[in-house]
Structure 1
């Protein structure tokens, strides 16, 4: 029985890489590149953090670079699940160590407890079944030599070719490789090798050197955008800034200090104390004027209080011809003149002083009120 008849008699499982399906290169420890490597697929690393050689390496637009973040960790989880799934498949053919044989490989599970080696050309035949799946299980290492190649015929699909490698994989210089490598440890792609598929390493490194990767779109679910919702909460910080304008209402109570200055006009009653002084000043002239009146009654030459005494003395003076009347008049005028400084000018001076004091106090009060109002307006 040929290899083709044996393999075609077995039904193989559908392919699935989950979140790892969008990656051309995914590693566990490091990703190192030399030269102008081009990745038509995403670049991921988890849990490692060291990616070197990008640039000059290039991840083409429309793809992502995820390093030690949520999407990369999710891709590693999907890779582990897929690795365990393909490792546990029952083999349709065992002890397959040489890959460049004459008969082509048809859909099936090919197992080697040790290593697998490709030195020349390997052919995968889909037998016109686009759903045919090719799984190769290498117990230890997978090695392709320089210039080796893999070709697909009769509808074989790149999306359905898987290499489960128990340790590490090495692709030779200038080789042409097809399919997705799921390696437990590391993957080394040497100078000028091309890969129509993926290099996915669970625990180790992926090392590149001027390579070209073209990871096909196999319709795998890509939960990578699920990390974008984690970034969306960032705009929620802007509402936290909105409370800043709330400080402005706290400044509004400041104008309330101006009403507190309004009680200042209560100083205006101060001039009301001054009329008491004016009343006293007005009372003094009346008392001074009352003094002369009492004196004029007692200034008669004969000492009598009645006006008759003054008439008698006047008559006596006229009859005798003695200038007694003149002496009396001169005495009265002298008395009036002696009383003038005490009664007349003294009262006027008091009134003037009182009025001046009132004017000064009123002016001072007005100046004080204007001064305080000007401060309150400021």
Structure 2
């Protein structure tokens, strides 16, 4: 019986390559955005009261429900929005905040940040969880790595507290509309903090003097306390899909489909594109700055999808190299086998 040990090498290499390729999707997964529903139009929403000291500027809707107390306006002001005090709009927005809170709380897989200060870290899109309090001292940088639809979700088991002059910085095309902070109790932003993202707090939210938010401050059961703050509801630049759909005529400017659970996107314009807030939009109807939307291709469910980000590309490259090695080993083995066969024939003659 003739042994053929050369067959083992390609089999092992092929098996390794397939294993690496199978792991690639799990190494890097993209999150869908968190749908805010009718709460998309709000910059501030509280459960009991909204209090303010100083000339705070709220760009977007301000509301309270089921409570009915709003104090400090003026000197505070609401621009690009409406004040909803214990009305049906605020009630529905609170219901949608509850849905969004539960969605954000249930997202997986998570990167454990328990007992770690976020300051000084650069984070790519994903879900980051602290089992108890979450803290930020200094600057945390969120890097979308060129993907404007990259979603960042933070899950604080209890409080979220930022030190004075802390910053949430966005790079690589990251957008404030795709950053969400689920807070298990109360959020406190220290003086002069520059914050980004939508805060979904179970209890209350306090912004100390001079803190600013490019996002939303949404408290389910308690109050929102303000002190000379600027809160700006974020817009979202929608990246259209590459698949063209039939059209009855030529259009200029990009429009996106509005859905009930999306993020706030400035309306389209037939001459200047999607970033003109006064645009008339496309054939689906008017597009205003308060229209709730989700980025194209991103359902507002918790389903994760495979991605070929840096980690995924590493696995794919390793798998491809292993499979290439397997093919090479198989060729060498085949040649070796033919040489042995010819040798035996020569010896028999």
Tell me the TM-score normalized by structure 2: 0.60
CA displacement at 1:6 relative to structure 2: 11
CA contact (8 A) 1:139 1:165 kept: yes
- Structure of higher RCO (CA pairs closer than 8 Å, 6+ residues apart): 2
SS of corresponding position for 1:80: helix
In 2, Cα distance between equivalents of 1:206 and 1:177:
16
Query: What residue is the counterpart of 2:173 in the other structure?
Result: 155
Within the candidate set 68, 83, 89, 2:107 is matched to 89
Query: What residue is the counterpart of 1:237 in the other structure?
Result: none
CA contact (8 A) 1:21 1:220 kept: no
- 1:44-78: CA deviations, max 9, x gaps? 10000010001110001x31100100000010010
CA displacement at 1:131 relative to structure 2: 1.1
In 2, Cα distance between equivalents of 1:53 and 1:81:
29
CA contact (8 A) 2:148 2:174 kept: yes
Query: What residue is the counterpart of 1:117 in the other structure?
Result: 135
Query: What residue is the counterpart of 2:44 in the other structure?
Result: 25
SS of corresponding position for 1:83: helix
Query: What residue is the counterpart of 2:87 in the other structure?
Result: 69
SS of corresponding position for 1:20: helix
CA displacement at 1:99 relative to structure 2: 4.2
SS of corresponding position for 1:132: coil
CA contact (8 A) 1:192 1:210 kept: yes
Equivalent positions of 1:190-205 (< 5 A) are 190-205=208-223
Q: Would the alpha carbon gap of residues 103 and 16 (structure 1) be closer, same or farther in structure 2, given more than 3 Å must change?
A: same
SS of corresponding position for 1:82: helix
In 1, Cα distance between equivalents of 2:52 and 2:259:
26
Dislocated runs of 4+, deviation >6 Å: 5-8
Query: What residue is the counterpart of 2:235 in the other structure?
Result: 217
Q: Would the alpha carbon gap of residues 32 and 195 (structure 1) be closer, same or farther in structure 2, given more than 3 Å must change?
A: same
CA contact (8 A) 1:162 1:180 kept: yes
Equivalent positions of 1:1-378 (< 5 A) are 9-60=28-79, 62-218=80-236, 221=260
In 2, Cα distance between equivalents of 1:89 and 1:116:
17
Q: Would the alpha carbon gap of residues 101 and 176 (structure 1) be closer, same or farther in structure 2, given more than 3 Å must change?
A: closer
What number of residue pairs does the alignment pair up?
218
In 2, Cα distance between equivalents of 1:158 and 1:8:
25
CA contact (8 A) 2:35 2:261 kept: no
| Gapped regions of structure 2 (runs ≥ 5) | 1-23, 237-257, 263-349
- 1:88-118: CA deviations, max 9, x gaps? 1123311344343544111100111101100
SS of corresponding position for 1:127: coil
Tell me the TM-score normalized by structure 1: 0.55
In 2, Cα distance between equivalents of 1:134 and 1:72:
26
CA displacement at 1:194 relative to structure 2: 0.6
Q: Would the alpha carbon gap of residues 176 and 109 (structure 1) be closer, same or farther in structure 2, given more than 3 Å must change?
A: same
Identify the range of structure 1 (212-221 vs 174-183) with the bigger mean alpha-carbon deviation. Answer: 212-221
Q: Would the alpha carbon gap of residues 14 and 222 (structure 1) be closer, same or farther in structure 2, given more than 3 Å must change?
A: closer
In 2, Cα distance between equivalents of 1:221 and 1:140:
29
- 1:215-265: CA deviations, max 9, x gaps? 113477499xxxxxxxxxxxxxxxxxxxxxxxxxxxxxxxxxxxxxxxxxx
Root mean square deviation, CA, Å: 2.1
CA contact (8 A) 1:107 1:133 kept: yes
In 2, Cα distance between equivalents of 1:126 and 1:96:
23
CA contact (8 A) 1:6 1:93 kept: no
Q: Would the alpha carbon gap of residues 209 and 92 (structure 1) be closer, same or farther in structure 2, given more than 3 Å must change?
A: same
In 1, Cα distance between equivalents of 2:112 and 2:234:
29
CA contact (8 A) 2:121 2:139 kept: no
